[in-house]
Amino acid sequence: MAYNKAREERKWRLWKETEEKQMRQLGVDEKTIKKLREHDWAIFNADRRFYQRVQETGTYLEEVAELEQQSEIRTVEDFLNSIENEQLFQVLITVDRLTLQAILLKIQGFSVSEIAALIDLNEQTVYKRLNRLKKKIKNILG
């Protein structure tokens, strides 16, 4: 929820009026009450600036997270479209679909055993496909 300066200031003023009324009843002089008011006002403003910055930072981080989620690679086509290196792209478009799926799943953080189960291949087969692709990429990109 956004920081609402006007609402917080109203709450502060109500609290301060109640406090000052109690101090007057207790016989505190006006000079001391005024000094205390100025001190409390400075603290309120410092807190306000802090909370506004926290709000702005939170909004910025939410926007960044939203952009990151939008650019998340979910399909083999998204993966291929995200490749900026032309040589790497040329290597990847020559690879079969299952190997591309295995690469995508590996990038997403799946283990080889999980990948094997998801694409219905033997674990050794997944290892071999990934290793062959690594060799191709190393040969072309150096």
The Cα diameter of the chain in Å comes to: 88
Give tens-digit pLDDT for 24-56. Answer: 999 999 999 999 999 999 998 888 888 777 665
CATH code of the domain made up of 76-141: 1.10.10
Q: Which amino acid is at 110?
A: F
Beta carbons of 61 and 52 less than 8 angstroms apart = no
Q: Which of 95, 137, 97 is nearest to 121 (CA)?
A: 97
Alpha-helical (H) ranges within the chain are 5-25, 30-70, 76-82, 86-93, 97-107, 112-119, 123-141
Q: What is the band of 124 on the pLDDT scale with cuts at 50, 70, 90?
A: very high
Q: What is the band of 122 on the pLDDT scale with cuts at 50, 70, 90?
A: very high
- How do the domains of the chain map onto residue ranges? 5-70, 76-141
Quote the percentage of the chain above a pLDDT of 90: 27
In this predicted structure, what is the pLDDT of residue 89? 83
Give tens-digit pLDDT for 71-103. Answer: 567 788 888 888 888 888 888 888 898 898 998
Q: Which amino acid is at 44?
A: F
